[in-house]
Structure 1
Amino acid sequence: MHAESGYWRPKPDGTIEVVIAQSTGLVEVQKGTYNAQEKVVELQSETVGNASKVRETRRVFELVDGDICYEVKMATNAVDLQPHLKAALKKV
């Protein structure tokens, strides 16, 4: 029902650029930071394309006890930024 693919471009100064294309047609260009010591990536949308309702997205990824935990926040034309999705990916 949902899939994403894209490119992650970390830079030596601790910034990162991410381009994500979703199966729904939504495209996100995000910029943010990564902290290798704290194992955290924080992203803020610069552009959300092909989305009539979505205004902004934010994503946070964190490595916690070997699990990748992430949270997505989203703002639409009707709702300010609020939690949209939260998950933990466990290695099997």
Structure 2
Amino acid sequence: MEALNIKEIPMTDEQKQETKSLQDELRKDPVVVELFQRNKLDERYLNTSPWKIHAWRKSFEPCLHCTGLNQCKQRVKGYYDDLEDNGILQNVQT
């Protein structure tokens, strides 16, 4: 079976612009910058997986205002999804 080349997925000009804007926004986001430093992620993922990073950022939002385990708003209380580079960018529960 042949690998899918993501670059071949057609996008409208509007979708391309939205993705470019998201990439720029993620590059400036201090939470995303800290994620990339902490997990030693390659910056190429901002170009190849911006929507995955955006989804992670949204899911991590409750942790930014954490007031303790009793008030945890995550799906699994006390845990959050993180992103790691294991050859591909993937979610891991921390």
TM-score by shorter chain over 0.5: no
Bigger radius of gyration, 1 or 2?
Answer: 2
Q: The TM-score by the shorter chain falls in which range?
A: under 0.3
TM-score when normalising by structure 2:
0.27
The structure in which a higher percent of residues are helix is 2
| TM score, norm. by length of structure 1 | 0.28
